Structure 1
Amino acid sequence: MSTKREEEKRNQAQNALEKNGAIVKISIRNITDLRLVMHRNQRPIYFISASPFNLLGIDDWVGSFKIISYFESFEGRHPNVFVPSKIPGFEPKSIEDINNHLLQHPEAIDYITRRGGRPAALFLMFDEKTEALCQELGMEVWHSTAKLRQRCDNKIETVRIGNKVGVRSVPNTLGPARTYQELLSSAIKAGLGADLVVQTAFGDSGRTTFFIASEDDYNLHAEKIAAESELKIMKRIKCRSATIEACATSSGTFVSPLMTEIIGKPELTPYKGGWAGNEIFAGAFSEEIRVRARDMTTRLGDQLFREGYRGCFNVDLLVDLENNEVYLGELNPRISGASSLPNQAAFAYADAPLMLFHIMEFLRMDHQIDVKELNDRWSCKEFVDSWSQVIIKWTEDSNEIVTRPPATGIYRMAPDGKMFFDRYDYRRKGIESDEEAFFQRFTGPGDSLKKGRDLGALMLRGRMMDDEFKLNERTHKWIEFLKSCYASKPTPETQCDKA
């Protein structure tokens, strides 16, 4: 157990560096200061989640950064990932369930306690129970409160937040739709027409986004739609989806380059309108659209900060193909599925990943970094390299158990088109050419194989879509190959049903 004096030294080191034998308080004024402070960090910081995917590689930048994961992606070979043993009977229904389970797992508690210090926790998703469990463990949650995050995550509230700062959503109206007639009446009054998109206040992966052009469409989802007291009812537009990661701090809002979104591809997800991945490349959008997107994101970030929110957030945007208007789609006040891509992009390696600014804010260190200078630099094409990522879901109707999954690491495509596992690695930057891919496994031996299950994340150099924004041939081959690497057997229940 650490002594009181050792604890004081750690606390002092957290906000100071040693220079010529004297302790000098650090004020972060530039990227050099930030990188040095993060490298010398001694305070235990944990990312607790189902998988390390979202913050993969941040441990290279931040001292004493560890990941506590539910899924074993790396077979015990990642130096900074701890995976406690599975407890029989636990069947999570959400990421919050997983995080709360990990915070109560005896092995995870022992791991945190043994490392000592004043632990801090980062999450992809969390709730008020998570906050209470962290308090019991003496862990500080380095996010805005679950209550505030939930309010900002509400799609109805997102419209209102955007309206405050002149960031427009797709033409819409807010209200109930207990019948198709009520939905149509509200839409016509708002001038939206009869071809509509309806969203509930909460939900992800397209499971609570409904495309309704007739009463039959409405009836398919009537139970879910009618149960909501308030819905976001939008005019359906022909659009391209885009996304952007940012970080709201007391220095201002840091904004990463604009990315494309890979949405609703049936090869990747069974959910129509469901997020499946992203691309980051210099020519993804015109300069006019990129400028507007950055401005919208900055205004949203500044407004979030005024409302008490701090740290990383994600904004989904919709670009109307008929008039080039850019609309606010969704606001995700948290680390997101897209976070891993910009955190490992060229601009991040040249300066710093966005996650470092998030940690800087919650370390409560004095910082006055020139936000405009960084944002202007990151908007230059020279700071944007070309990478893509997708999350591969199991899309077949089945109920089986995985017996042999593909390993995490670098895979290669030979000149004859044959694909194979080449070598173990736990970082995307291990990719050496366009013929290689990094696959991080989520679903492992003994896990269920059901429709909608996340198998893993695939990362490639270059694009995964063509100029028509359809998955290209190379991507199809990688998806088919990696799915074929999963061997499984029927569950006992399935075998009984067949008998």
Structure 2
Amino acid sequence: MIDFSIFNNIPIFYISPDIKRALGLELVLPNYYIVCSFYNPLVDMVRKRGGKVFCLEESEKDAVYQIKNSGQLLGHPKVLEFIQNKSKGQTPGILAFKPNLKIDILCSQYGFKKLINSSEINEKFENKINFFEITKKYFPDFHLKGTVGNLGDLNFKVMEKELSLPFVVQFGHGWAGKTTFFIKNELDWENLKEKFPQTLVKVTKYLNNSFTILNNCCIYKESVLVGPPAIQLSGIPELSENKFITCGRQWPAIDLSKEDENIINSVSEKVGLLMAKEGYRGFFGLDFLIDKNTGKIFLSENNARFTASTPFYTKLELGMQSIPLMIYHLASFFSLHIDISYNPHIVGSQIIVRKTSDTQHMLLNDLKTGKYKLNESNLEFLGEEYDPGELNQNEFIIIKEKENKKVQENEEIARIETKNSVLNKNYELKNDIKKLLAANEQSGKELSNQ
């Protein structure tokens, strides 16, 4: 068993509108509290197993929909009262998925201990344009050819000559590929330019036969701990029609040589050391593009915060009796000593199912959130449980969005988590996953009525 007793007397509050972002350590740290805006069946599942959750929607059903981010949630009077009551005179530690200025101000105002980096240092590394310039200066061998400028000032013919068609335009900020644009011709360029003429963008060469590798890392004291690489799920038609939209990740990464893994680990450590010199501490993750035609590796993005995979990844770490990177993150901010021993062999996959039509994934909207087993083409509901690290072979967790939530095109409608791999060697979903997605709608309706 891992000894977490050094955190026994430290009240920690993870502030997140969505409970899914705050999961990971809720069952292993005795004074770890999740503060979320919106109700989700996971709220009751966590409480059932002894986790502590404050859900604002349970008492503020109308006002909660005005809260758009963790900073606004932290500033709500009922949240502040809850933190004060549970802290019992001790200084509360505040976690959040992504730094923002509101959290910086509130933590300073109320004397909270902020357990994430400042919004200023996050911007320095996470902004795609800033990081593009960093890779160009410090990691030229892993820099993807491109340019930066206001979209309205850039010339299509020049871009076409330098990068050839098609090429890719990205804004400085965006989530899951939603501000990444594929430019196939001058009309695509002019349409985008007309909408966002003053937007600072990076324009890069399009790699027509590539895949994305990602990892989770943590700066702890003088060390940079680097997790095993995963392959990003994107360009999979069953999950999204947009090839740039992220639809999950799988550990281990397929078709990644040991040599390439060593290069990715080495570059990740060097990036972490560079960040540490600027005062950055704790969790971050990197994205790498690998060109399958040439084998060349490019350093793509820096998620200078907790990553989208952090909760799921943490559960897998705990399932292997490995000290999670989140624990090293907390120890870094509390200046606590933990022996450095980190080399887990992570196996697991997280699929994000996005809306591509009104009916394509109706089944997942009908199912309860919980644990399932796939028997031939039918889903067997095993119970309202959530702990990916405890799953057995051929078991899955399905987490659906709220039934009354309005879901836009390419937004998440459900996620599937498993301790199995989900891709074959052709980068396609395995047959059992296709069966899971296509399991008949009637089964889902029967399960939802149990």
What TM-score results when the alignment is normalised by the length of structure 2?
A: 0.86
Change (3 A) 1:344 1:74: closer
Name the residue aligned to 1:129. Answer: 102
Name the residue aligned to 2:157. Answer: 184
The amino acid across from 2:302 in the alignment is: L
Change (3 A) 1:456 1:42: farther
Per-residue deviation, 1:336: 1.1
Name the residue aligned to 2:396. Answer: 437
Aligned with 1:83 (options 31, 55, 58) = 55
1:203 aligns with 2:203: no
Change (3 A) 1:343 1:74: closer
Q: Deviations over 1:182-239 (max 9, x none)?
A: 0331453xx4223211111111222211111311222342334533234233343421
- Kept after mapping to 1: 8 A contact 2:288/2:301: yes
How do 1:302-381 and structure 2 match up within 5 A?
A: 302-345=273-316, 349-365=320-336, 369-370=339-340, 374=341, 378=343
Q: Deviations over 1:22-51 (max 9, x none)?
A: xxxxxxxxxx9xx53556431111111133
The amino acid across from 1:389 in the alignment is: Q
* Percent of aligned pairs sharing the same letter: 20
Measured in 1, the distance between the counterparts of 2:358 and 2:368 equals 24
- Kept after mapping to 1: 8 A contact 2:168/2:180: yes
Measured in 2, the distance between the counterparts of 1:215 and 1:362 equals 49
Name the residue aligned to 2:372. Answer: 411
- Kept after mapping to 2: 8 A contact 1:149/1:333: yes
How do 1:458-497 and structure 2 match up within 5 A?
A: 458-481=416-439, 485=444
Q: Deviations over 1:426-468 (max 9, x none)?
A: 211342222x101233x22433243333233211122222211
Name the residue aligned to 2:14. Answer: 47
Unaligned stretches of 5+ residues in structure 2: none
- Kept after mapping to 1: 8 A contact 2:230/2:253: no
Aligned with 1:172 (options 146, 151, 155) = 146
- Kept after mapping to 1: 8 A contact 2:370/2:397: yes
How do 1:130-279 and structure 2 match up within 5 A?
A: 130-166=103-139, 168-178=142-152, 182-186=155-159, 188=161, 191-269=162-240, 271-279=242-250
Name the residue aligned to 1:56. Answer: 23
Name the residue aligned to 1:394. Answer: 355
Unaligned stretches of 5+ residues in structure 1: 1-31, 488-499
Q: Deviations over 1:346-388 (max 9, x none)?
A: 5873431111111010002356x55xxx46xx2xxxx424211
Between 196-205 and 324-333, report the one with greater CA deviation: 196-205
Name the residue aligned to 1:6. Answer: none
Change (3 A) 1:103 1:341: closer
Q: Deviations over 1:97-149 (max 9, x none)?
A: 23133223343233212112211111112411222233344322211111211
- Kept after mapping to 2: 8 A contact 1:165/1:303: no
Q: Deviations over 1:280-316 (max 9, x none)?
A: 0275511011001101111111101111211111101
What TM-score results when the alignment is normalised by the length of structure 1?
A: 0.78
Name the residue aligned to 2:388. Answer: 428
Partner SS state of residue 247, structure 1: strand
Give the superposed CA RMSD: 3.0
How many correspondences in the alignment? Answer: 433
Measured in 2, the distance between the counterparts of 1:423 and 1:444 equals 18
Measured in 1, the distance between the counterparts of 2:41 and 2:222 equals 36
Measured in 2, the distance between the counterparts of 1:486 and 1:270 equals 26
Partner SS state of residue 46, structure 2: coil
The amino acid across from 1:413 in the alignment is: L
Indicate the structure (1 or 2) with the bigger Cα radius of gyration: 1
- Kept after mapping to 2: 8 A contact 1:156/1:232: no
Name the residue aligned to 1:66. Answer: 33
Change (3 A) 1:122 1:264: farther
Per-residue deviation, 1:475: 1.9
